[in-house]
Amino acid sequence: MSEYRLPQDEILFVLSELIGLEAVAELAGLTHTTLEDVTSILDQAGRFASETLAPLNRVGDLEGATLANGEVRTATGFREAYGEFCSAGWCASAAETTYGGQGLPRLINTALYDVWNAANISFSLCNTLTDSAIQLLQLHGTEFQRKQFLPKLVSGEWTGAMAMTEPQAGSDVGALSCRAEPKDDAYRLKGQKIFISWGDHDLTSNIIYLVLARLPDAPEGSHGISLFVVPKFIPDESGEPGTRNDVRCIALEKKLGIHASPTCVMEFGEKDGAIGWLVGEPNRGLAAMFTMMNTARLAVGHEGLGIAERAYQQANSYAKERLQGKNCDGDGIPIIAYPDVRRMLLSMKARSEAMRALCYDAALSADLSAHHPDQAVRVLHDDRVALLTPIVKAWCTDGAVDVTTTNIQIHGGAGYIEETGAAQLLRDARVTPIYEGTNGIQALDLVRRKLGGDKGLAMKSLIEEMRQFDAALSATEDGAIVAIRGRFAEAGSALARTTHTLLGALEDDPETADAAAVPYLDLAGTVLGGYYMARSALIAENRISAGDENAAFYRSKLATALFYAESILPRSAGLALAATSGAATVSHMQPEAF
């Protein structure tokens, strides 16, 4: 597999020119927000990613995690890399300074995960889950739980894991049967959980599980689920790992991809019951767990971005090195000279850049919703990040599968051979549309809860923002900008019309609205991508006109945005049709007809 290179110009462009780093620099409680600070942080992250994490990506794929004598072992080099990762302070990047974190904005932390995921998604996934557990305990944990667990989680001495899924309870979380019996000042949990990412490993001395279970008197369904914090080792009086809890990994799943990430079958309470403590209120566990789930869903979208970036880099390198055919002088022709290869590379580049902008914009809204001094602004961005979460998760992960597939196509037969590493990227990407809520469920969440929950207000606000940007586009006569504006206006209108239609369907024909959900989410992501690319194009055109010394970079940005407008945005019309006319056919097709 080709080496990973930090796309620093791309990341800094999105942070400082497109999304607006200055917006977080003004927020209280956040640190290291100057462009100089961010550049330095990215330099260090890029070196660690390219020199340490990326070389382990192939090792982890070949060796995988192993289970022997009841103990899970990670692939060669992972434990040492994790120690270096924590020693450098990367584990604590976005956590509150109160618990030893660095207090970085979510915007900058998202840029870091852009780097970690591209270098080694299996490794990055461990810290993603810990980061999600930290956020959950900060919001819902008792004072004792925060003091007991957060400092160790923030430092990376311990890791976090989410234990939800059971054999009979996948997407239907309400069907879970894990039980929690009160005993003394804690609870005893008994039950089996499956598909637990990083459920056991040898990186740290302890693992903290956030476990969903039922109390004895709990009502049936999702309204009877409580949340518990369950450590692998019970902390002693000094806060260090003490007695082994009644929890263990009984099997590792054999998976298509992310082999280095141990996906565990966990048994809680094989003997007397795993000791745990209630987090939040009884029977309100699912609401609390959604804090962790929503953070994780955004993080999975970031995984899609990272894998897409790595695939684009690999395809770009291969296309410039691989010679096929000869010119009139008898010299070999690199395949990048052929138009269809350039088309495929442009599609990868354009989709990846749009994904990056979407992920970073959602992260900015997360920062503004948490830290802006004006309550109205906080509410606006709280609604915005809620709206964008299913789009980030689904659109970016579907995009990752598309981009990694195109990477294999550019490699030709070599891409189908494991040795090149192109196949690994597709295998690793394939789980991202599935876990943390399938992309079909993300689409239902977008339509039912986000669109239906506020009668479309958050989406209409976003559509209006895009309409207002049209005035900025109309102020220039540049040919590329004029072309982009025309395509963007058509796509924006398609999204507005389809949104109106779905709001009506939610009232009159909910099943048809459900059938429209997936193409509607794809439409929203595609149009949003066009919005970010149009903004990028306008910035680039202004820089070129001003004679910027980095004109070659901005010409590439402008050309990529034009490609997106001409070759990707036109899909909006078909998606709008599928979400309106086509949805009725789906909803009216009876199961017995298949």
Domain containing 78 — which CATH number?
1.10.540.10
Q: Is 353 a catalytic residue?
A: no
Amino acid identity, residue 333?
I
Domain with residue 174: its CATH number is 2.40.110.20
Strands 179-183 and 323-326: unpaired
Classify residue 362: in a domain, yes or no.
no
CA pair distance 17, 11, nearest whole angstrom: 10
Q: How many CB atoms lie within 10 A of CB 71?
A: 12
Q: Are 74 and 30 in contact (CB under 8 A)?
A: no
R_g over Cα of the chain: 24
Q: Is the same domain home to 150 and 166?
A: no
Classify residue 411: in a domain, yes or no.
no
Q: How confident is the model at residue 94 (pLDDT cuts 50, 70, 90)?
A: confident
**144-197 confidence digits (pLDDT tens):** 999 999 999 999 999 999 999 999 988 888 899 999 999 999 999 999 999 999
Q: Is the same domain home to 205 and 73?
A: no
Q: How confident is the model at residue 587 (pLDDT cuts 50, 70, 90)?
A: confident
Q: Is the same domain home to 25 and 37?
A: yes
Model-level pTM greater than 0.95? Answer: yes
User: What proportion of the chain, given as a percentage, has pLDDT over 90?
Assistant: 93
Chain-centre distance for alpha carbon 53: 19
Q: In the structure encoding, which two tokens stand for residue 59, read together?
A: 């090792």
Q: How confident is the model at residue 92 (pLDDT cuts 50, 70, 90)?
A: confident
Chain-centre distance for alpha carbon 549: 34
**270-308 confidence digits (pLDDT tens):** 999 999 999 999 999 999 988 888 999 999 999 999 999
User: What proportion of the chain, given as a percentage, has pLDDT over 70?
Assistant: 100
Q: Burial, 274: exposed, middle or buried (Cβ in 10 Å; 0-12, 13-18, 19+)?
A: buried
Q: Is the same domain home to 183 and 57?
A: no
Classify residue 26: in a domain, yes or no.
yes
Q: Is the same domain home to 148 and 163?
A: no
Classify residue 138: in a domain, yes or no.
yes
**500-553 confidence digits (pLDDT tens):** 999 999 999 999 999 999 999 999 999 999 999 999 999 999 999 999 999 999
CA distances in angstroms from 342 to 71, 315, 316, 513, 540, listed in the order given: 48, 10, 9, 38, 21
Q: Are 397 and 31 in contact (CB under 8 A)?
A: no
Q: Is the same domain home to 14 and 45?
A: yes
Classify residue 398: in a domain, yes or no.
no
H, E, C per residue of 50-68: HHHHHHHHHHHHHHCCEEE
Nearest to 340 by CA among 313, 321, 315, 308: 315
| Mean pLDDT, the chain, integer | 97
Q: Is the same domain home to 457 and 576?
A: yes
What is the predicted pLDDT for the residue at 292? 83
Q: Is the same domain home to 115 and 180?
A: no
Classify residue 500: in a domain, yes or no.
yes
H/E segment holding residue 458: helix 457-474
Sequence-ordered list of residues with C-beta below 8 angstroms from that of 163, at least 6 positions apart, any chain = 193, 196, 199, 209, 210, 211, 212, 230, 266, 268
Nearest to 553 by CA among 101, 107, 11: 11
SS3 of residue 554 by DSSP = helix
Classify residue 450: in a domain, yes or no.
yes
Q: Is the same domain home to 42 and 66?
A: yes
Q: Which of 225, 258, 285 is the last residue of a domain?
A: 285
Q: Which of 10, 309, 353, 436 is catalytic?
A: 436
Helix 78-87 and helix 54-63, axial crossing angle in degrees, nearest 10: 150
H/E segment holding residue 179: strand 179-183
Q: Which of 235, 255, 285 is the last residue of a domain?
A: 285
What is the predicted pLDDT for the residue at 74? 99
Q: Is the same domain home to 182 and 224?
A: yes
Q: Are 180 and 228 in contact (CB under 8 A)?
A: yes
**418-433 confidence digits (pLDDT tens):** 999 999 999 999 999 9
Classify residue 101: in a domain, yes or no.
yes
Residue reference for tokens 């082999």: 259
**129-149 confidence digits (pLDDT tens):** 999 999 999 999 999 999 999
Q: With 80 as the cut, is the pLDDT of residue 247 above it?
A: yes
Q: Is the same domain home to 19 and 99?
A: yes
What is the predicted pLDDT for the residue at 291? 85
What is the predicted pLDDT for the residue at 173? 87
Q: Which of 243, 258, 285 is the last residue of a domain?
A: 285
Q: In the structure encoding, which two tokens stand for residue 338, read together?
A: 């052929």
Q: Burial, 579: exposed, middle or buried (Cβ in 10 Å; 0-12, 13-18, 19+)?
A: buried
Q: Are 1 and 420 in contact (CB under 8 A)?
A: yes
CA pair distance 32, 20, nearest whole angstrom: 15
What is the predicted pLDDT for the residue at 35? 95
What is the predicted pLDDT for the residue at 347? 99
**252-261 confidence digits (pLDDT tens):** 999 999 999 9
Please tell me the total count of domains within the chain: 3
Q: Are 175 and 191 in contact (CB under 8 A)?
A: no
Amino acid identity, residue 429?
A
Q: In this structure, what are the phi and psi dihedrals at residue 175, rounded to the nearest 5 degrees? A: -90, 5
Cα first-last separation, the chain: 43
Q: Is the same domain home to 130 and 168?
A: no
Q: Are 255 and 194 in contact (CB under 8 A)?
A: no
Q: Residue 510: which domain range?
A: 441-589
Nearest to 227 by CA among 287, 302, 269: 287
Amino acid identity, residue 127?
N
Sequence-ordered list of residues with C-beta below 8 angstroms from that of 264, at least 6 positions apart, any chain = 72, 196, 197, 198, 199, 200, 249, 251, 252, 253
Q: In the structure encoding, which two tokens stand for residue 589, read together?
A: 């097709």
Q: With 90 as the cut, is the pLDDT of residue 5 above it?
A: yes
